[in-house]
């Protein structure tokens, strides 16, 4: 009986410690200051693209591999309601601008492959998408939630960030401007 109480107390303490570590990690990840700002170099990263969502890119690609192209990095998740609002606009931009040098790169955040594939299929997505394994990319970009989007110019510089669902007009205006530079 005495050992059982001790075991329960230790288990509760360990669980509380894990919760405190998780909350601390969330707070640190959302701190301002270290996130890429407009005019700064976009942090390089490597992502493994989903098999059916590579758009003729290699399975493993780095942001630096895309230098010379305008890149839209869109953080999303299958469970994100706001992400659904921008899905069609992102796909339309991809179809409209990819031959002119645009790469839209979907970064799936805190998700599993099955619901991610279902989400991508339901929106007829054809642009490259991959999962953010161990949240490395989202931590590097210090995202605060999804959807969150970074527009990167041909030299790899962050030119605009949007922390909400994108509108078709916002995508077109920004992409046209960057492609015409």
| Average pLDDT, rounded, for the chain | 87
Domain ranges in the chain? 1-30, 33-179
What confidence tens digit (pLDDT) does each residue in 94-110 have?
A: 999 999 999 999 999 99
Please give the CATH number for the structural domain made up of 33-179. 3.40.30.10
DSSP string, the chain: -HHHHHHHHHHHHHHHHHHHHHHHHHHHHT-TTSS--TTSBPPP-EEEEPTT--TTS-SEEEGGGGTTSEEEEEEE-TT-HHHHHHHHHHHHHHHHHGGGTEEEEEEE-S--HHHHHHHHHHTT--S-EEE-GGGHHHHHHT--SSSEEEEE-TTSBEEEEE-SPPPHHHHHHHHHHHHT-
What confidence tens digit (pLDDT) does each residue in 27-50 have?
A: 444 444 578 999 999 999 999 999
pLDDT grade for 89, boundaries at 50, 70 and 90 = very high
Query: For residue 109, what pLDDT is reported?
Result: 96
| pTM to 2 decimal places | 0.81
């Amino acid at each position: 009986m005495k050992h059982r109480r001790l075991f329960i107390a230790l288990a509760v303490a360990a669980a509380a410690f894990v919760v405190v570590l998780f909350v601390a990690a969330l707070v640190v990840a959302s701190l301002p200051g270290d996130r890429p700002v407009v005019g700064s170099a976009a942090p390089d990263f490597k992502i493994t693209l989903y098999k059916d969502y590579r758009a003729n890119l290699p399975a493993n690609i780095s942001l630096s591999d895309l230098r010379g192209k305008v890149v839209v990095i869109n953080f999303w998740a299958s469970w994100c309601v706001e992400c659904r609002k921008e899905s069609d606009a992102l796909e339309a931009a991809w179809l409209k601008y990819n031959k002119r040098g645009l790469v839209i790169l979907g970064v799936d955040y805190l998700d599993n492959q099955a619901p991610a594939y279902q989400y991508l299929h339901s929106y007829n997505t054809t642009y490259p998408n991959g999962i953010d394994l161990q949240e490395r990319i989202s931590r590097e970009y210090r995202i605060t939630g999804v959807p969150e989007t970074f527009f990167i110019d041909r030299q790899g510089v962050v030119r605009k960030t949007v922390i909400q669902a994108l509108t078709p007009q916002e995508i077109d205006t920004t992409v046209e401007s960057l492609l015409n530079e």
